[in-house]
């Protein structure tokens, strides 16, 4: 909302009082704007960023999608260690348990050639021509 109002102005806003005079802009919005202008960030944005990092690490576990990641975060889990300890009385399916056990291995990138060599060896492999 603030961005739209500021874009519609034909002048530059220099101080807090000028912001407060704008219709539709309240004290809290002004305080947030000042914090962002002074620090280049806002504490709520940092919290959101941290939440995303934690949820993304959860989604690195095999068979854990956004629904589980959000649920676990809301239950207070903040690390893979919390998941391993089954904090918050969570239960893991067998594939999730295995995915957690091999989490680090599953995060590593493998070269397609290495995969082809592993599965096909020196012999001709059906469909190997599709793997480049």
pLDDT one-digit tens code per residue, 97-113: 999 999 998 888 777 77
Residues 20, 85: Cα–Cα separation, whole Å: 50
CATH topology of domain 44-101: DNA polymerase; domain 1 (1.10.150)
Contacts of 2 (CB under 8 A, 6+ apart): 25, 29, 33
* pLDDT surpassing 90 at residue 23: no
Q: What is the DSSP letter of 111?
A: -
pLDDT at 127: 59
Q: What percent of the chain has pLDDT over 70?
A: 91
pLDDT at 112: 74
Q: What is the tens place of the pLDDT at every residue in 38-76?
A: 888 888 877 778 899 999 999 999 999 999 999 999 999
pLDDT at 87: 95
pLDDT at 129: 54
Domain with CATH 1.10.150.20 in the chain: 44-101
Catalytic-role residue among 1, 21, 32, 84: 32
Residues 124, 131: Cα–Cα separation, whole Å: 12
Q: Is 85 known to be catalytic?
A: no
Residues 113, 120: Cα–Cα separation, whole Å: 10
CA quadruple 123, 126, 129, 132: dihedral positive or negative? negative
């Amino acid at each position: 909302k603030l961005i739209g109002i500021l874009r519609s102005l034909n002048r530059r806003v220099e101080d807090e009082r000028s912001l407060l005079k704008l219709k539709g802009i309240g004290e809290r919005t002004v305080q947030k704007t000042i914090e962002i202008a002074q620090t280049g960030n806002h504490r709520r944005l940092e919290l959101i960023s941290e939440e995303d990092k934690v949820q993304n690490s959860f989604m690195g576990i095999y068979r854990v999608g956004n629904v589980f990641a959000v649920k676990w975060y809301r239950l207070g889990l903040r690390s893979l260690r919390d998941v391993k300890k089954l904090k918050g009385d969570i239960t893991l399916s067998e594939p999730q348990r295995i995915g957690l056990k091999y989490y680090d291995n599953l995060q590593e990138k493998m070269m397609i050639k290495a995969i082809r060599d592993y599965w096909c060896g020196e012999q001709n492999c059906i469909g190997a021509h599709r793997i480049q």
